[in-house]
């Protein structure tokens, strides 16, 4: 293991579900080695109630969670970012700000659970499936030998993670 600490930003357009869930998962699984934040290009202004419900049921701290603009992470006084992951196709297609630290980026696209239709059970299952997929991807990510991989190999691994189901 390395003593190196990494800052990670998860992006979605609305920053109300996927990116917030990813932030929570990485902060738990990568505690001490990774610090995660989330943001959106057009934040909804609130975290989706079903995301909060799921995270609370899984014993994630939710008191500090909020939907916020990616502008908070692009200024001169922003934390230096090591990685930026887009989780929705809309955010991946947008022109992103210049992030401090020239972070590595990858697209880990997932369906938006907030767009799920059907019964309440089906909507809850969409959020649970998002949590499962993000947990799997983040677990793979935190177990990469980041400091021993050259930049091109690391980029390929990050891209491959985005293809996992």
What tokens appear for 22 in the block? 């990813």
Task: Tell me the three state secondary structure of residue 29.
Answer: helix
Q: Which of 8, 9, 11, 12 is catalytic?
A: 12
Structure tokens at 161: 């993670």
Catalytic residue from among 84, 88, 114, 116: 88
The whole-angstrom separation of Cα 72 and Cα 38 is 10
- What is the distance between the alpha carbons of residues 30 and 143, in angstroms, rounded to a whole number? 9
Q: Residue 82: CB partners within 8 Å, gap ≥ 6? A: 6, 7, 8, 101, 103, 104
24 flagged as catalytic = no
Residue 150 three-state SS:
coil
Q: How far is residue 69's CA from residue 73's CA, in Å, rounded to a whole number? A: 8
Active-site residue flag, 37: no
Contact 10, 40 (CB under 8 A): no
Select which of 29, 62, 96, 140 is catalytic.
Answer: 96
Catalytic residues: 12, 88, 96
């Amino acid at each position: 293991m390395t003593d190196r600490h990494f800052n990670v930003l998860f992006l979605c357009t609305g920053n109300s579900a996927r990116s917030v869930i990813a932030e929570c998962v990485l902060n738990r699984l990568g505690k001490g080695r990774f610090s995660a934040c989330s943001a959106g290009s057009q934040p909804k202004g609130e975290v989706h109630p079903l995301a909060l419900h799921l995270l609370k049921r899984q014993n994630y701290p939710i008191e500090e969670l909020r939907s916020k603009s990616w502008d908070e992470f692009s200024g001169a006084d922003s934390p230096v970012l090591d990685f930026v992951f887009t989780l929705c196709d809309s955010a991946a297609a947008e022109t992103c700000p210049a992030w401090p630290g020239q972070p590595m980026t990858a697209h880990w696209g997932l369906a938006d659970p907030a767009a799920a239709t059907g019964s309440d059970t089906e909507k809850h299952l969409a959020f649970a499936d998002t949590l499962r997929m993000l947990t799997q991807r983040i677990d793979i990510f935190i177990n990469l030998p980041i400091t021993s991989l050259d930049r091109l190999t690391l980029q390929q691994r990050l891209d491959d993670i985005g293809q996992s189901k």
